[in-house]
Structure 1
Amino acid sequence: MLKGWRRAEKGRASLRKPRLKKVYVRVKSTLRKVDGENVRITVRPYEYLTLSWSHTWFSPRVKGLELGEPVIKEDKVHLPFRYKLPWSTPLDYLAIDSNLYTLDAYDGEKFVTFSLRELYSLKFGMELKRGRIKSFASKHGRKGELLSRKYSHRERNRVRDHVHKFVNELLEMYTVTTIAVEKLNKQDMFQEADDRLSKKISRTVWRSIHRALKYKAPLYGSLVKEVNPHLTSKSCPRCGRISRKVGLFVVRGVVSPWIDNSTHP
């Protein structure tokens, strides 16, 4: 803020005085010392503030994790924890193709499909319920607004719970693995899709799944990489050749990408 004000004095920025909207202090790693489940923060020379999370509800969840830079506010303290990334890139890999109802993956030996239909059905059902709530809210003012907020919060919690359980099962199957996922952009998809397909795309939670994979993978010794989705669905996972005709076929209940024999050996 002071640097910005100095620029303002030189005529390179607005002349309005800087104003702090939220009062907080971010503690640098050099000013805190961690001892077990306690952290000692240096306030002044020989003056310290000690915090402990040994008897908190989240203590078992952060066991073995590294404490980041605490953030102290007027009425609460935020303790961020971070995972330690593996020192080397795992040799085993899993390539994931994100679709509407499934995640189709290839691990170098076989194709594996993870179903997302239960999650899609949850989003679809909540969407219908939200429509009825919006109709009710338009006629009942404040009461309808509170009800709408309540169900929106409930939907987020249910989706988040389902995503975390799904990601945990996936990572338990593929430990110490480099996982490649597509860096998808829904806004670009909406421009190329019709109204019906756009509604289906809006019910997907690819980004939430990828985000959960990213920060949970180090717990299992794995690593997540985002790749450009261009031509990933048309490329053969074995040899990398790109085909013009791509579809799906089912073998023993597993959905796998197929490439027309006339264009692929």
Structure 2
Amino acid sequence: MKNDEGEESRVLLENYRVLLKKALDYLWERIKVERREVKKGKRVITKVKVTLSKKEEVYKSLRDELEEVNVLASHYVDKAISDAYSVLRSWRRRAEKGKASLRKPKLKRVYVRVKSTLRKVEGESVRITVRPYEYITFSWSHTWFSPRVKGLELGEPVIKEDKVHLPFRHRLPWFTPLDYLAIDSNLYTLDAYDGEKFVTFSLRELYSLKFGMELKRGRIKSFASKHGRKGGKLMEKYSHRERNRVRDYVHKFVNKLLEMYPVTTFAIKKLNKQEMFQDADDKLSKRISRTVWRSIHRVLKYKAPLYGSLVKEVNPHLTSKSCPRCGRVSRKAGLSGVRGVGSPWTGN
């Protein structure tokens, strides 16, 4: 929703930026970066390892430093420390993969995710504490989504300069689902095992959609290279269209899967495409690039609780060689008669 409290929220954002920047500077001075060379075939690759200070070791001294410059409620200091660690952990993952430079990450657009201790829900509005006895109130009583969120619980509001994001969630019972479904992600199918039988879910329609859009995007690239700005807009349009179609298919697919298997624990492989590309030839790499495994897994993870289900990511090591019934590991590289990457055999 639109941020109608621009002036008041700007004070909160500017002061929170000061806290977050100081926390980042403090932690950055204590980061250790190690480089080592690894021989991979005929190539020599430089590996980078980044070590962050443990939170419990620096928390007290960092908190004392932030309190000296803090003009907001005290809870924002704890939030700034958590956010600083979140920023650096995200940067570390990308830096160790070679996708980010080893320079300190910059704060571009600062937002504040308000903790539950700093907000109070009153009817169809939320009161957020800025300083002791100073508040900002946001109401959603006359918004388009007001009827759709009745009876739902408000999560942690996210305040930006121009917008306020209000996440709502269902209250779910705490229990462990008794049924389970082990899923193996292949090029054209999801092969699953429910303890009694194998089930195959076809992804050929999604694969064909990606393949068709890839051909169309190739023709548009040729056009864009000759028509400058007009071609760039056309390229952006079709890229946006592809993302929307893929997203729509994934959400509908996951909804049907969860309707078929409610109150179920889903076991899925934690796949890494980059490692697959290293071991595949050009033809197989193109096929792997058209898959959307992570999108399916991500949507499944956040929608599963709405159906009383859980999602567990497992290490893919030996899962394509293990028998789901007895656990025996086959000596063969893979099971015969299986198309795609992996097999319908999934570990216990």
- The answer to whether TM tops 0.5 is yes
> Where on the TM-score scale, by shorter chain, does this alignment land: which range?
0.7 to 0.9
8 Å Cα contact 2:301/2:311 also seen in 1: yes
Q: 1:137·1:147 contact (CA, 8 Å) conserved in 2?
A: yes
Q: Does 1:2 align with 2:3?
A: no
How far, CA to CA, are the matches of 1:54 and 1:3 in structure 2?
Answer: 37
Aligned to 2:335: 246
Answer yes or no: is 1:154 the counterpart of 2:241: yes
2:182 corresponds, among 89, 92, 95, to 95
Q: Find 2:324's aligned residue among 231, 237, 241.
A: 237
Correspondence 1:90-129 to 2 at 5 A: 90-129=177-216
Alignment of 1:173-192 (within 5 A): 173-192=260-279
Instruction: Give 1 or 2: higher strand fraction.
Output: 1
The alignment status of 1:228 with 2:248, answered yes or no, reads: no
> Which amino acid letter does the alignment assign opposite residue 336 of structure 2?
G
Give the C-alpha shift of residue 47 in structure 1.
4.4
1:53 to 140, 147, 162: 140
| Contact 1:66 1:84 (8 Å CA) reproduced | yes
Does residue 217 (structure 1) correspond to residue 304 (structure 2)? The answer is yes
Tell me by how many angstroms 1:72 deviates: 1.7
Deviation by residue 1:44-73 (Cα, 9 ceiling, x = unmatched): 455443323344444566555432221222
Q: What value does the CA root-mean-square deviation take over the aligned residues?
A: 2.7
Corresponding residue SS for 1:211: helix
**Bigger shift: residues 154-163 or 51-60:** 51-60
Query: Which stretch shows the higher mean deviation, 205-214 or 85-94?
Result: 85-94
How far apart are 1:21 and its partner, in Å? 3.7
- With over 3 angstroms needed to count, the CA separation of the structure-2 counterparts of 1:171 and 1:204, relative to structure 1, is same
Query: Are the counterparts in 1 of residues 183 and 269 from structure 2 also a CA contact under 8 Å?
Result: yes
Are 1:86 and 1:218, in contact at CA under 8 Å, matched by a contact in 2?
Answer: no
State how far apart, in whole Å, the 2-side matches of 1:60 and 1:190 are: 47
**Equivalent position SS for 2:328:** coil
Structure 2, unaligned runs of 5 or more: 1-20, 32-105
Aligned in 2, Cα 1:257/1:159: closer, same or farther, shift over 3 Å?
A: closer
Q: Distance in 2 between matches of 1:108 and 1:37?
A: 46
1:173-232 alpha-carbon deviations (Å, 9 max, x no partner) = 111110000000001111111111110000000000000000000000000000011111
In structure 2, give the amino acid aligned to 1:33: K
The residue correspondences of 1:74-93 to structure 2 (distance < 5 A) are 74-82=161-169, 87-93=174-180
In the alignment, which residue of structure 2 is the partner of 1:27?
114
After TM superposition, the structure 1 stretch with the greater mean CA deviation from structure 2, 107-116 or 20-29, is 20-29
Q: Distance in 1 between matches of 2:157 and 2:190?
A: 37
Assess, with a 3 A threshold, how the Cα gap between structure 1 residues 61 and 136 changes in structure 2: closer, same or farther: farther
- What CA distance in whole angstroms lies between the structure 2 residues aligned with 1:125 and 1:60? 39
**Separation in structure 2 between the aligned mates of residue 184 and residue 207 of structure 1, nearest angstrom:** 8
Q: What secondary structure sits across from 2:128 in the alignment?
A: strand
- Does the CA contact (< 8 Å) of 2:178 and 2:265 recur in 1? yes
Task: Note closer, same or farther for the CA distance 1:107–1:138 as it changes in structure 2 (3 Å cut).
Answer: same
Distance in 1, matches of 2:260 and 2:157, equals: 34
Amino acid at match of 2:335: V
Q: Secondary structure at the match of 2:241?
A: helix
Structure number with the higher helix fraction is 2
CA distance in 2, matches of 1:33, 1:26: 14
Distance apart, 1:127 and its partner CA: 0.2
Moved more, 36-45 or 226-235: 36-45
* Cα distance in 2 between the residues matched to 1:39 and 1:226: 36
Contact 2:156 2:167 in 1 (8 A): yes
- State the TM-score, normalized to the length of structure 1: 0.83
2:159 alignment counterpart = 72
Q: Is the 8 A contact 1:247 1:257 kept in 2?
A: no
Give the direction of change, closer, same or farther, for the CA distance of 1:145–1:231 in structure 2 (3 Å limit). same
Say whether the 8 Å CA contact 2:184–2:344 is kept in structure 1: no
